[in-house]
Structure 1
Amino acid sequence: MAILEVKNLVVNYGAIRALKGISFDVNEGEIISLIGSNGAGKTTTLHSISNLIKKQSGSVVFDGEDITNLQAAQIVHRGLIHVPEGRRIFANLSVKDNLEMGAYTRNDKEKIKQDMEHVFELFPRMKERLKQLAGTLSGGEQQMLAMGRGLMANPKLLLLDEPSMGLAPILVDEIFEIIKKINEDGTTILLVEQNAFKAMSIANRVYILETGSISSSGNSSDMIKDPAVKAAYLGG
């Protein structure tokens, strides 16, 4: 069953049409990867779902409710959580404060405590650095903190924007293993990622964005073998 349905989404930046009426869906329990080159409209897609930018037309239905015109803060309350590109952690707050900020919409204290422990299981380094200022963490640790903060909101759907950007290869592997684990624990994921091979390797289905349009889609196992996809995105 679709937890997210995006229909005919159009977004303009001035005279530039960034999204040209795209439609796709995400089923409960899936990892969906949205891949494409720089400027294809991947981040714009996530921003328009979260209502961080204005849509010209189209609709977004989340968990059976039309959220097209809801404010970003209302969307967070519904359980659709966006971990943005570039991490956007609170650099001057401690790791603990950042994680607690993730749970600001909640008041189920016992469950928040359990979720904090779950974040420490996924990201043991966060527990070690609990009192440290977030701005002093390494790039990989900041990415882990951003994802941990997102999980503290108890998401039904997690939007991840370029989680591996700027990370060393060994950390990229670690981040993707954790994304898989988050999904296995029951969180549906919509993943935007430059590293097409990694994104496809953990996804159920893939949508390819080219200059604001979805050019193809399918099961990741089929797409990863597609010669055109290989040539364009997998360097083969």
Structure 2
Amino acid sequence: MLQVKNLNVTYGAIHAVHDVSLEVRDGEIVSLIGANGAGKTTILHTITGLKRPRGGHILFDGQSLQTMDAFKIVRLGMAHVPEGRQIFAQMTVAENLDMGAYARRDKEQVAKDLEAVYTRFPRLRERQRQNAGTLSGGEQQMLAIGRALMSKPRILLMDEPSMGLSPLLVKDIFKIIQELNQSGITILLVEQNAKMALSIADRAYVLETGRIVMEGNAADLLSDEKVKKAYLGA
């Protein structure tokens, strides 16, 4: 479904991503783990058209993305849940969800999808007229996910969805990720919580200073001594 080949990304003189290649197959959860500053968010921004690569190829169902505008990438069926949630704080919950469907014209199906989001996240229904900036951290994360779902994605790119949440809410968010995957949405998950990310993923990649240093089945990486020592606190 998604293929990244020899991706290179720079910020001025800083070479942030070095020859990164990864693949996400239809129906999978694939985790990308690594320390702060490893380049995880940069990779997601480049895949979704927010940052232009210096070199390499990004293919979504065989279609090249590296020069495509971000709004066109959304229309292909890719949605991004950004780091820090990035909700529209001065807009209501309902208005945020409407923004998620801005590229769609199928009004009847949009209404059905909105109802599905409210069913999945009852707290959002309760607060639909409330300004998004007044929500708790967990509710804002639910809103960010719901907003992405309103674009009707086939693949969802999620950047640090557990950031700043209590352990109980982290469990809830990861359960939601699994449920979304079971409903037919492919997931590329960037996470610092390596243990949780690997526990729900099919496959994973380990990123260090802009380079893929390990890859494989998530269960194998979860039990790998190097991964345990570096990322799991073992």
TM-score (normalised: structure 1)? 0.97
Structure 1 unaligned spans of 5+: none
Regions of 4+ moved over 3 Å? none
TM-score by length of structure 2 reads 0.98
Aligned-partner residue type, residue 24 of structure 2: V
Q: Which amino acid aligns with 2:36?
A: N
Q: Equivalents in 2 of 1:80, 1:95: separation in Å?
A: 22
- Give the drift of 1:120: 1.6
Alpha-carbon distance in structure 2 between the residues aligned to 1:38 and 1:90: 25
Matches within 5 A, 1:78-227: 78-227=76-225
Give 5+ residue unaligned stretches, structure 2: none
1-side partners of 2:50 and 2:138: how far apart?
Answer: 25
What SS does the aligned partner of 2:68 have?
coil
RMSD: 0.8
Distance 1:219 1:166 in 2: 27
**AA aligned opposite 1:93:** M
Residue-by-residue CA offset, 1:211-231 (whole Å, 9 max, x unaligned):
000000011111101011111
Aligned counterparts of 2:145 and 2:84: Cα–Cα separation in 1: 12
Q: 1:121 offset after TM fit, Å?
A: 2.3
- Separation (CA, whole Å) in 1 of partners of 2:201 and 2:108: 32
Deviation at 1:77, TM superposition (A): 1.2
Distance 1:151 1:211 in 2: 31
Give the residue type in structure 2 aligned to 1:235: G
- 1:136-168 superposed Cα distances (whole Å, 9 cap, x missing partner): 101110010000000000001110000000001
Q: Within 5 A, what are the aligned runs for 1:17-96?
A: 17-96=15-94
Instruction: Count the aligned residue pairs.
Output: 234
Structure 2 counterpart SS, 1:216: strand
Q: CA deviation at 1:171?
A: 0.5
